[in-house]
Structure 1
Amino acid sequence: MNIQHDLLTGIRVLDFTWSVSGSTTTRILAAMGAEVIKVEWPKTPDMMRFSMYAKDDEPGLDNGAFFNSLNVGKKSFTVNIKSAEGMNIIKELIGKSDIVTENFSAGVFEKWGLDYSSLKKVNEGIIYMSISGLGHTGRQKNYGTWGPTAAALSGMTYISGLPDKHPSGWGYSILDIVAGYTGTYSILTALLYKKRTGKGQYIDISQVETALPLVGSNVLDYFVNARSSNRQDFPTGNRSVLSTDVNKTDFRGPIACPQNTYRCAGDDKNDYCVIAIYTDDEWERFKEAIGQPDWVNDSKFSNLTGRIHNQDELDKQIEGYTKRFTKYDVMEKFQKYDLVAAAVQQNEDIMENDPQLRFRTLFETIKHPLLGERLVEGIPMKMSQSSPYIHKSAPLMGEDNHYVLKEVLDYSDEEIEYMNSIGVFWPLDLSKDSFKAVRPLW
């Protein structure tokens, strides 16, 4: 890894984000070298701590796989901001920070007395970023949303899928990730502005609005070609709609043959390789790639029409070849002949076997104090002088309290002991053992 320095060394982020969108922003900032201090309270922890435990991992406060991916590189500080002592500590931290981030619903930070005008009184140059579904202004600002809700409001969900089928949806909170990356480049822009002017600013990000570039082609199609994205007979009214698709065991299409998923060596259910041959020239290269066995030169396979008419036999012959090799061997063999071929991959394949991602070192190994060594997603950008990288595992809740209180705020041992005794940093009626039986949220 060719890294000369961290881009954001010396920048401190006070991070109130939770779930996915805001945590994505601060995850990237941490990978760029910023000191990110994640603020939580054990009675209302980030819900991601309890979602998607990895197989065989014991459920608990610090073991959630999704949390540990979203929060790599960060520090953890626990404080009760509803107490006078806790709020004073937060204001002291704001005074010693460069950036404050949150992704609560509009109005939450204001209720805490931490709106931008109040933050400026504590730290004139602070950069404050908020992410919410519809932004912090306008008559719909208080509407509650999640990533999938924002996708639906933006039109992304409606235009997904095939024109003659009901919308397929995105299957994941895509706008949480899009908004998270938008937050990162907005903060980087604000830091550049502050470097030039000495002034901070407020960044208000609407997840719905971050989707608009992703639906631009449909908007353009409507205004230029007067062609609507509406589907005939959809929506059908206030009732559930089930897919009318028929499950198929192949992926044949009308313009290529062979075109299918072919069984390869191995006993995993995903040991298949997709192969598609579109032209007679490609067919000739395919024949050469598999060594010109006698059957490929049968005249019934010599052109596309013949191959389509005899594709059952053709698929059987091809699978007789592919089953002798791994799906990656098949993929690489045909790609060397400039043919369309791709291994069918599941999550484990993508993380551990994908040759391109391995070469790009997208996944990095970190050592977690409870979970041991794990692969986590890196940052998908490479820079010749300051590539972002994962500095450390996600924090255990409250593991950096001593650092924050002693080294950042210079509190005395007596002050810390007193505030500990009245429950400022951890609820007096709550132990970490009480989280061990918590099950995943989904």
Structure 2
Amino acid sequence: MNIQQDLLTGIRVLDFTWSVSGSTTTRILAAMGAEVIKVEWPKTPDMMRFSMYAKEDEPGLDNGAFFNSLNVGKRSFTINIKSAEGMNIVKDLIRKSDVITENFSAGVFEKWGLDYDSLKEINEGIIYMSISGLGHTGRQKNYGTWGPTAAALSGMTYISGLPDTHPSGWGYSILDIVAGYTGAFSVLTALFHKKRTGEGQYIDISQVETALPLVGTNLLNYFVNGRSSHPTGNRSVLSADFNKIDFRGPAACPQNTYRCAGDDANDYCVIAIYDNNEWERFKAAIGQPEWVNDERFADLNGRIQHQDELDQFIEEYTSRFTKYEIMEKLQKYDLVAAAVQQNEDIIETDAQLQFRGLFEPINHPLLGERLVEGIPIKMSESSPYIHKSAPLMGEDNDYVLKEILHFSDKEIELMHDHGVFWPLDMSKDSFKAVRPLW
């Protein structure tokens, strides 16, 4: 049982976010103890509700694995915001909330009449956070983007992959996560400011701008040296070659990801050897095969010049052992080596993550007990943790309407009859009436 204090107890977040970036922000806030009320409409729900069903789960509004990971700890409230009754209820909720979050394209909230100036008229101390691809100001504010689009605009995509081929891009939408954590940090900062001054504020986050620290060395190279970006990939370069810059610190060779025994696509081990002393230990670790004494590999400069041939020899050796066998063999000689881990390795094999308790078991009313990743922040007094499973669509309507807004049963029934909380032509048990947005 968690006996630590929840940092954000008493803070209410009205959450209009969807997909990944904004949902990541409110996921973190919920884990810190905030009451997060996710606002949706069943006919246009969060698209993540339809993403990545587990293979044995029945598809439905509440069974999407990605949604149930991104939205743990939150409440769900359904409302037709396009109706006058629905908008009035939303405004009542704004009056009783501390934070409003959304990650629509710029201008959407403004069209709803919920720009920051309007929100301040409803609740003078409100904190309003928006996340969009390029921010809510500037000539390109209305451009629609996704995380990978923002990565390309930031320069991240260009510097990915091998140096002599086209950019490979980033496999996962990393900027959704980076922007999400930026959003959480900004809300916490705004709450601290409000505690000191009583003032709310507007937070405008651009995904493209959150990416720039990830390409910082390339920007610095241009600022200082006037040089364009160079996709150096995973190949070591000589420091004397001033046209290329190695941003990873000391040059190493061999330095690569090597195929190991096994049939899985992730059966690889990363190896890095930084100097001649380590090279001698590497030779001893793998049993002094004949090729390690080739004069071309005698020093670091030679190994860099002939790294393609060296990599072939090493992979012939590593392919005879599992990735963990290679890792342990080399680590015994105090060398840098690590297995490339995949899903089952991370969850079932990684002793460090198990010790840290990163993955938390959560009971879901439809899916049963599932593991979800926790928040990778450990604090001595107020560590964030997963409070509950992700909500079923509209499961907290009664709580919001009765306990927060104090509507009577008769008032609620009348609004139900008007379709304010659920579409009249859509059964709560119906999935086919809803279609994914893509």
Range of TM-score over shorter length: 0.7 to 0.9
Please name the residue that 1:87 is paired with: 87
CA drift at 1:340: 2.4
RMSD: 3.0
Distance in 1 between the 2:155 and 2:310 partners?
42
Q: Which residue of 1 aligns with 2:258?
A: 260
Structure 1 counterpart of 2:382, one-letter code: S
The whole-number CA distance in structure 2 between the counterparts of 1:364 and 1:174 is 22
Aligned to 1:429: 425
Equivalent of residue 354 in structure 2, options 352, 358, 372: 358
Measured in 2, the distance between the counterparts of 1:209 and 1:186 equals 14
Deviation per residue, 1:29-66 (Å, 9 max, x gap) = 00100000000000110111111212222211111111
How far the C-alpha of 1:82 sits from its partner, in A, is 1.3
Q: How does 1:188-337 map to 2 (within 5 A)?
A: 188-229=188-229, 255-256=253-254, 260-263=258-261, 268=264, 270-275=266-271, 281-282=277-278, 285=281, 296=287, 301-302=292-293, 305=296, 320=320, 322=321, 327-328=323-324, 330-337=326-333
TM-score w.r.t. structure 2 length?
0.85
- Do the aligned residues in 2 keep the contact of 1:273 with 1:330 (CA within 8 Å)? yes
The 1:394–1:287 alpha-carbon spacing in structure 2 relative to 1, beyond 3 Å, is same
Q: Provide the C-alpha distance between the structure 1 equivalents of 2:257 and 2:199, rounded to a whole number of angstroms.
A: 58
Secondary structure of 1:221's counterpart equals: helix
Distance verdict in 2 for CA 1:257–1:92, change over 3 Å: closer
Q: CA deviation at 1:267?
A: 6.3
Cα distance, 1:439–1:226 mapped onto 2, change above 3 Å: same
Q: Deviations over 1:223-280 (max 9, x none)?
A: 211211278xxxxxxxxxxxxxxxxxxxxx99339983321xx765545544555656
* Counterpart code for 1:363: F
Return the TM-score normalized by structure 1. Answer: 0.84
More displaced stretch, 405-414 vs 427-436: 427-436
Q: 2:409 aligns with which of 400, 410, 413?
A: 413
Match of residue 77 from structure 1: 77
Contact preservation (8 Å) 1:59, 1:439: no
CA distance in 2, matches of 1:328, 1:413: 62
Contact 2:259–2:318 (CA<8 Å) still a contact in 1? no
| 1:369 is the counterpart of 2:368 | no
Deviations 1:373-410 (Å, cap 9, x if unpaired)? 11212111111111111111111100111111111111
Indicate the structure whose relative CO is greater, using CA pairs within 8 Å and at least 6 residues apart.
1
Structure 1 unaligned blocks of 5 or more: 232-252, 291-295
After superposition, the Cα gap between the structure-2 partners of 1:271 and 1:169, relative to the gap in structure 1 and judged at 3 Å, is closer
Paired position in structure 2 for 1:57: 57
In 1, Cα distance between equivalents of 2:316 and 2:176:
44
Q: Which residue in 2 is equivalent to 1:22?
A: 22
Q: Which runs of 5+ in 2 are unaligned?
A: 232-250, 304-308
Equivalent-residue separation in structure 1 for 2:143 and 2:317 (angstroms)? 58
Contact (CA 8 Å) 1:2, 1:385: kept in 2 or not? no
C-alpha offsets along residues 266-319 of structure 1, whole Å, 9 cap, x if unaligned? 7655455445556564465457667xxxxx356664567479989878766665
What SS does the aligned partner of 1:211 have? helix
Alpha-carbon distance between aligned partners in 2 of 1:179 and 1:258, rounded to the nearest angstrom: 30
Structure 1 CA distance, aligned partners of 2:222 and 2:178?
Answer: 24
How far did residue 216 of structure 1 move? 2.3
Query: For residue 410 of structure 2, what is the amino acid of its counterpart?
Result: E
Match of 1:380 in 2: 376
Q: 1:226 to 1:90 in 2, by over 3 A?
A: same
Q: Percent identity?
A: 78
In structure 1, distance between residues paired with 2:313 and 2:409: 80
Q: Which residue of 1 aligns with 2:242?
A: none
Distance 2:101 2:255 in 1: 53
